[in-house]
């Protein structure tokens, strides 16, 4: 730098002294206040979540023993009462829901992403319907289940499979929407390459597109199932209401109960023992859901890193 001429040095110094300082002077009080308000509003949700989790653990934790999972509900021996029928009932209901939503949801997603011509009016009708169904109150699906599945055309009666179908209709949009997103994420070049090699459209979809969308479909299915497993209101209408002291005969016959419905029934009783039981049931349900959600989040993180 020794060769720098005098004129350059003067110019540099002049530039330095006249540069506007880009860092702020003083503290932006209004801005900091705004940031604090924003932080508070997000913390409200987070703190409430923490309070709810602690509450459920403290209230229901003491009753979290083996009896809870192996015993029938009992009004006499409340300290050994369990909710085995509800666990079995929920298993039946969820199995039926899973077997219904995966084939139908994935097929619908394939149609809408790979085959549907968006300019056709009937495809637009399907789109709008899907968006609307996703926001219909869950209890309305209960009414539909009561009128069409329990009674009416299907006439299944108050059995576990009626609950399965009702919940399936409710969570179908969730599966379709997430499956579509993951199908859309498959690069179009893969499709072009497959078609150029002489594969038919269906061969391309089945052998190239679908295998790559499996993680996304799986994530969507887990999220849909986790929504269905905690849903209470529609099940109240399609028969999971009776205080059952026995296991359901099968998915297609006999009265059934479900974990969230059992929790509700315990919670609305005035005795303290039942409220503790309800909280213990809630603890089990929340733990189950956290497990399902973490699997979904882990799957998504793993999948998004690969692509």
Per CB under 8 A, contacts with other proteins among 204-243 are: 223, 226-227, 229-233, 236-237, 241
Among 115, 207, 250, 291, binds other proteins (CB under 8 A): 115
Single residue of 15, 25, 27, 42 touching other proteins by CB under 8 A: 42
Cα separation, 60 vs 74, whole angstroms: 17
Residues 6+ apart with CB under 8 A from 158: 150, 238, 239, 240, 242, 255, 256
- Length of the chain equals 307
**Contact between 299 and other proteins (CB under 8 A)?**
no
Residue 77 Cβ vs other proteins, minimum distance, rounded to whole Å: 22
Tell me the torsion sign for CA atoms 183, 186, 190, 191: positive
Indicate whether 154 belongs to the interface with other proteins (CB under 8 A): no
User: In the complex, what is the shortest distance from the CB of residue 285 to other proteins, in angstroms, rounded to a whole number?
Assistant: 6
Q: Is 303 in the site for other proteins (CB under 8 A)?
A: no
Which region among 81-89, 90-98, 182-190, 272-280 touches other proteins (by CB under 8 A)? 272-280
Binders in 63-102 for other proteins, by CB under 8 A? none
Where does the chain have alpha helices with state H? 6-18, 29-60, 66-70, 84-110, 121-133, 138-144, 160-184, 188-196, 201-204, 210-229, 233-237, 259-267, 272-306
Q: Per CB under 8 A, does 199 bind other proteins? A: no
The binder of other proteins chosen from 70, 77, 200, 307 (CB under 8 A): 200
Decide if residue 186 touches other proteins (CB under 8 A).
no
88 in Cβ contact with 257 (< 8 Å):
no
Closer to other proteins by CB, 193 or 297: give it.
297
In whole angstroms, give the CA distance from residue 125 to residue 13. 69
State which residue, 1 or 27, has the beta carbon closest to other proteins: 27
């Amino acid at each position: 730098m020794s060769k720098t001429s005098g004129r350059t040095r003067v110019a540099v110094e002049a530039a330095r002294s006249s540069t506007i300082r880009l860092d702020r002077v003083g503290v932006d009080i209004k801005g900091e206040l705004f940031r604090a308000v924003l932080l508070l509003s997000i913390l409200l949700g987070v703190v409430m979540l923490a309070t709810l989790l602690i509450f459920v653990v403290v209230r229901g934790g003491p009753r979290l023993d083996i009896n809870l999972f192996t015993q029938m509900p009992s009004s006499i021996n409340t300290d050994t009462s369990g909710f085995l029928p509800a666990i079995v009932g929920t298993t039946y209901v969820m199995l039926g829901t899973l077997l219904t939503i995966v084939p139908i949801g994935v097929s619908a997603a394939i149609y809408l992403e790979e085959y549907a011509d968006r300019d056709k009016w009937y495809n637009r009708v399907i789109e709008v319907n899907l968006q609307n169904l996703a926001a219909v109150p869950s209890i309305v699906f209960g009414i539909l289940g009561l009128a069409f599945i329990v009674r009416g055309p299907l006439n299944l009666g108050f059995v576990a499979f009626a609950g399965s179908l009702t919940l399936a209709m409710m969570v179908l949009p969730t599966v379709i929407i997430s499956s579509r997103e993951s199908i859309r994420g498959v690069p179009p070049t893969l499709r072009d390459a497959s078609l150029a090699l002489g594969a038919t459209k269906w061969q391309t979809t089945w052998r190239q597109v679908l295998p790559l969308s499996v993680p996304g479909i799986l994530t969507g299915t887990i999220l849909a199932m986790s929504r269905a497993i905690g849903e209470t209101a529609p099940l109240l209408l399609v028969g999971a209401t009776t205080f059952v002291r026995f296991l359901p005969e099968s998915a297609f016959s006999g009265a059934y109960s479900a974990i969230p419905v059992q929790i509700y029934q315990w919670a609305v009783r005035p005795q303290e023992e039942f409220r503790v039981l309800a909280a213990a049931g809630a603890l089990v349900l929340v733990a189950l859901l956290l497990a399902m959600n973490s699997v979904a989040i882990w799957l998504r993180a793993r999948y998004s890193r690969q692509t």
